[in-house]
Structure 1
Amino acid sequence: MSQSATSPKWFNSRTAMAGAALLAALGLAGCSGMGMGASSTPSAVKVTNGTLTDQHGMALYTFDRDATAGKSACNGKCAENWPPLAANDADKPSGDYTIITRDDGKKQWAYRGKPLYLWTKDKMPGDQTGDGFMNVWHVAKP
């Protein structure tokens, strides 16, 4: 392979191949946490039309009053209306998804530190009637 007039003197086919191999290795290493094509979304969560839903297609919500990452501020009557997205001991967090322990000791899924909830007034997959409720509830988006 001949050297072009614009290539530095140290550049040759051997350095080009080494550089390509290094970039490929770095690219693969950077993807290893993402599962190389496998989703890092847990089975309890799906992405549907640009929003997070549960496995049945019901909208998931975040609560502005969950101000401390990994901590739910929605308990008691609040949690009756906004059921937490339950996680169990067999579930494994991955990527942006974590599992938090609620005040009652139950496990709940969180996305980027924000606990995820359903809304009891959503009746069918695709409903998002809780979005903007009291200006503190919002459809969760990836």
Structure 2
Amino acid sequence: MGDPFTNLKNALKKTVFKDISFSEERKTAVRNSLQESPSSTQLHSWKEETLKAILESLKQEAKDGYEISSLLFQKNDSSFRNKEGELYTLLHLLENKSIIAARWYDEKKYYSLTGKGKKILAVTRREKSPQQTSLKQLILEASI
């Protein structure tokens, strides 16, 4: 059986992706990551602090993935070090749950908080009791 992605690969060779190449080491790392963590699209696989930092970073203005990643790095959050693709997986998950919205501008995808995302962030700030509601729980409940 042939490569099921032949048509996709051929189409990508004719777009802005034509000049992108990855080392065999990087390809292997991505393959291994996909095989090891089939639950990476689940919210529970990320730290609460990371989720909050991402939402906080989008509070004032829209940012692209690189800017979000840089802010996390500045806060010494290495959740996505050498796993940059997982950040975009998380952003996509939050977008699907309508916590953030995305739009393309100048060939970059910018993310911003939705009204729902702002409410969730406000609730997590207000909660100061030891039994405070988990940010993950709020996101899961908001997406029901």
For the criterion TM > 0.5, the same-fold answer is no
Q: Which has the greater radius of gyration?
A: 1
Q: What is the TM-score normalised by the length of structure 1? A: 0.29
Higher helix share: 2
Q: What is the TM-score normalised by the length of structure 2? A: 0.29
Higher strand share: 1
